[in-house]
Amino acid sequence: MPPQPCTLVLLGPLPPGPQAGLEPLARRFGALLLGVDEPERQLALGLAAVTPLGPPPLGGIVAALALAQDGHLLVVEHAAALSSLALLERLATHADDADVVLAERGRLVPGRYRRSCARPLERALRDGRLDSAAALRGLKVAVS
């Protein structure tokens, strides 16, 4: 199956120094968003910043869904992105009509989220349902 058009979101702190490793990710996934607490650095890199709307990782996922340009959002921790290209490809190409495709049951990240998950996940965040089972209640979830 061809990969789903995905906006890639990297959560967590950026390592110091040049970010040349982001270029291949940006080329592969098109849109790239960084969900970290360093907006000045992100803007200096020319990347869109996502300000988390609550505790991680759910707060970052909800904020990124509001900015996503594609039908799906692919979320991974920044520290794991470059070493997890095969995992990102597997999530992006997973053939399933699920709302959410997780790499591992019980963990919100890494995962692929449909834009239609925005409202249910906003409600979960607002209601304080931060663990994965509670946050994903009512959504169709698959594990890749």
Is residue 1 included in any domain, yes or no?
no
- Look up the CATH number of the domain holding residue 93: 3.90.550.10
pLDDT digits over 60-115, tens only? 999 999 888 788 898 888 777 767 788 888 998 898 889 999 999 999 999 999 99
In this structure, the strands spanning 6-11 and 100-102 are: unpaired
Is residue 18 included in any domain, yes or no?
yes
Per-residue pLDDT at 15: 66
> Looking at the 3D structure of the chain, how many domains does it have?
1
pLDDT tops 50 at residue 44: yes
What is the pLDDT averaged over residues 126-144? 96
Per-residue pLDDT at 101: 95
Helices (H) and strands (E) in the chain, counts: 7, 7
Structural domain range at position 80: 6-143
Question: pTM to 2 decimals?
Answer: 0.86
Is residue 139 included in any domain, yes or no?
yes
Q: What percentage of the chain carries pLDDT values higher than 90?
A: 39
Is residue 135 included in any domain, yes or no?
yes
Local confidence band at 1 (pLDDT 50, 70, 90 cut-offs)? very low
